[in-house]
Amino acid sequence: MFSFILRKTVREGNILPLTSTCNLRCIFCSNSQNPPGVKAFSLPPLPFPLVQQLIALLDPRRKIIIGEAASRFTEGEPLTHPDFWTILSIIRSIYPKTTIQITTNGSLLNRTAIKRLSDMQPLELNLSLNSATPRGRWLLMGDRRANRVLEAADLMAEAGITYHGSIVAMPHLTGWQDLQLSCSFLQEHGATTVRIFLPGFTRLALPELRFDAEAMYHKLRQFLEEQAAVSKIPLLLEPFLWEDWQSLQARVAGVIPGSPAERAGIRRGDVIKSVNGRPVKSRVDAFKRVCKAVHPCLELEGREFPVSFWKEKHDGAGIVMNHDLEWEHVEKAGRVIRERRARSVLVLTSIWGLHWLQLVLPEWERGGARVHLAAVPNRFFGGSIASAGLLTTLDFRSTLRQIIEKRGDVFDLVLLPARAFDSGGRDLLGRHYSRLRGLTGGRVEIV
Ligand code: SF4
């Protein structure tokens, strides 16, 4: 079973899980906040022969990802794997041209490690910096040797290694100045982009880790806007939550210096109307279309002439967009509604997803169906969690019951977000979504 899930993870996401072991102890690490019952696996360093078998399953046409939490496996620091360098060499010899993406906390990156990485190009590092001050690294991550990661950033820049910096923002603990310094450090020491994350906490989080998530989000948004306006590199706040002034307009959040998009004259704030003559539906849709194209021709709002440039298929263009809606999921939901000939449809989504989906209701109601949209609170994880990926069948059940009791409605079709389930239809508690069928007279499907 375990080996089956591992293989599936590699095939589906092109993610190579190596270990859940970590040499640091971040106070925001999701590994320590999961309520009991969550079926998450903590991996010891995988034996070398097993890793070799998994390497053979990787797809050389897609980026190979190492060090990210995948499926049910919890995250860890990949460089703690005793065979990390041998594994990397094997991947490189089998797939010489594929980009390898490694997510690391940077604490094990010394001069020798960076030299070895530069010999393994093309690769991309996601550096979880979180703070550029010794006090901040210690407070947030338990890292007593912050200087090592700071030096590593410079060495990577010198060696021409592309790296993206990330910061889990906890200014209520470290102070806003620490956040400002950390953000500036990445901008000035070679990062290609900076992502700032609003941390989440579950109902099990210690009191000192809790904060007013909504107020924090607005402050971070303002902080980011001010920083991004003067930054040479793209800065992003994640998650990108809906606000009253927003729409699905494909507004460019930033452009990587020296990229094809920058050379073609695309700038932060430009709005992409169409790619190769086809109108775009959302930011994510625009991003994916540009990524797939070899010679994208972009129509930009307010520009008299289209902008075009050359790039290889699936190579980045250097355009950075915030994440709004995966348009293929919207289309799939519309298709399911039409194919099932449903007249009364209930779409359950997360609190974060509700406003975005309201914008696409007319798309789903085109065929005459009456579509009711409802947000499901993440009661199981609790705390500040409000995302679809952490919803469970218990949460769906409780909201579904309330809606049916209140409205007295029986829906022909209930749609659930696929993000909450694995490819076998099971949630994080290992429960299958079909358990919800008894509550409603109609079908229940995931899209
Ligand atoms: S570096 Fe990543 S895996 Fe390690 S403790 Fe921090 S969040 Fe968890």
The CATH number of the domain holding residue 349 is: 3.40.50
Whether the pLDDT of residue 66 is over 80: the answer is yes
What is the residue with the minimal CA distance to atom 1 of ligand 1? 105
> How much of the chain, in percent, has pLDDT values that exceed 70?
99
Where does a domain end: 320, 346, 369?
320
Whether the pLDDT of residue 1 is over 70: the answer is no
Q: Which residue has the tokens 């993000």?
A: 419
Q: How confident is the model at residue 70 (pLDDT cuts 50, 70, 90)?
A: confident
How many degrees, rounded to 5, is the angle at CA 83 between CA 82 and CA 89?
150
Looking at residue 306, its pLDDT comes to 96
Cβ of 69 less than 6 Å from ligand 1: no
Q: Is 32 exposed, middle or buried (0-12, 13-18, 19+ CB in 10 A)?
A: middle
Looking at residue 76, its pLDDT comes to 94
Same domain membership, residue 294 and residue 226: no
Alpha carbon of 222 to ligand 1 centroid (Å): 27
Q: Is 77 exposed, middle or buried (0-12, 13-18, 19+ CB in 10 A)?
A: buried
Looking at residue 75, its pLDDT comes to 83
Cβ of 77 less than 6 Å from ligand 1: yes
The reply to whether 245 falls in a domain is: no
Same domain membership, residue 178 and residue 56: yes
Number of folded domains in the chain? 3
The reply to whether 191 falls in a domain is: yes
Strand, helix or coil for residue 167: strand
What is the residue with the minimal CA distance to atom 7 of ligand 1? 29
Q: How confident is the model at residue 110 (pLDDT cuts 50, 70, 90)?
A: very high
The reply to whether 243 falls in a domain is: no
Cβ of 107 less than 6 Å from ligand 1: no
404-416 residue pLDDT tens:
888 876 799 999 9
Cβ of 30 less than 6 Å from ligand 1: no
The reply to whether 244 falls in a domain is: no
212-245 residue pLDDT tens:
999 999 999 999 999 999 999 999 999 999 888 8
Where does a domain end: 184, 210, 238?
238
Residue 201 sits in a domain whose CATH number is 3.20.20.70
Same domain membership, residue 204 and residue 84: yes
Same domain membership, residue 92 and residue 220: yes
Where does a domain end: 302, 320, 338?
320
Query: What distances in angstroms separate CA 101 from CA 46, 49, 88, 320, one per listed residue?
Result: 19, 22, 11, 17
What is the residue with the minimal CA distance to atom 6 of ligand 1? 26
The β-bridge relationship of strands 100-104 and 123-128 is: parallel
Structural domain of residue 153, as residue ranges? 2-238
First to last CA, the chain: 25
54-58, 82-86, 141-145, 206-210: segment of lowest average pLDDT: 206-210
Same domain membership, residue 226 and residue 266: no
195-209 residue pLDDT tens:
999 999 999 998 888
Alpha carbon of 301 to ligand 1 centroid (Å): 41
Alpha carbon of 317 to ligand 1 centroid (Å): 30
Distance CA 446, CA 417 (A): 6
Q: Compute the average pLDDT of residues 260-265.
A: 97
Q: Which residue has the tokens 């001050």?
A: 133
Cβ of 26 less than 6 Å from ligand 1: yes
What residue type is assigned to position 409 of the chain?
D
Alpha carbon of 77 to ligand 1 centroid (Å): 7
Cβ of 218 less than 6 Å from ligand 1: no
Residue 282 sits in a domain whose CATH number is 2.30.42.10
State the average pLDDT for the chain. 94
Looking at residue 424, its pLDDT comes to 86
Cβ of 168 less than 6 Å from ligand 1: no
How many degrees, rounded to 5, is the angle at CA 315 between CA 312 and CA 316?
130
Q: Which atom of ligand 1 is nearest to the CA of 22?
A: 4
Looking at residue 339, its pLDDT comes to 95
Q: Compute the average pLDDT of residues 271-285.
A: 97
- Smallest CA-to-CA distance from 329 within 273, 384, 281 is with 281
Strand, helix or coil for residue 223: helix
Q: Which atom of ligand 1 is nearest to the CA of 74?
A: 3
Q: Which atom of ligand 1 is nearest to the CA of 141?
A: 6
Distance CA 317, CA 44 (A): 37
Q: Compute the average pLDDT of residues 11-17.
A: 93
Same domain membership, residue 372 and residue 289: no
Residue 123: strand pairing partners: 100
The β-bridge relationship of strands 297-300 and 271-275 is: antiparallel
Q: Compute the average pLDDT of residues 356-375.
A: 94
The reply to whether 268 falls in a domain is: yes
Cβ of 29 less than 6 Å from ligand 1: yes
294-311 residue pLDDT tens:
999 999 999 999 999 999
CB 395 within 8 A of CB 431: no
Looking at residue 345, its pLDDT comes to 95
Distance CA 433, CA 416 (A): 9
Cβ of 143 less than 6 Å from ligand 1: no
Same domain membership, residue 353 and residue 266: no
Question: CA torsion sign, 293 to 259 to 92 to 51?
Answer: negative
> Which of 19, 20, 21, 24 has the most ligand 1 atoms within 8 A of CB, as the residue to mutate?
24
Q: Compute the average pLDDT of residues 60-65.
A: 93
Alpha carbon of 139 to ligand 1 centroid (Å): 13
Cβ of 76 less than 6 Å from ligand 1: yes
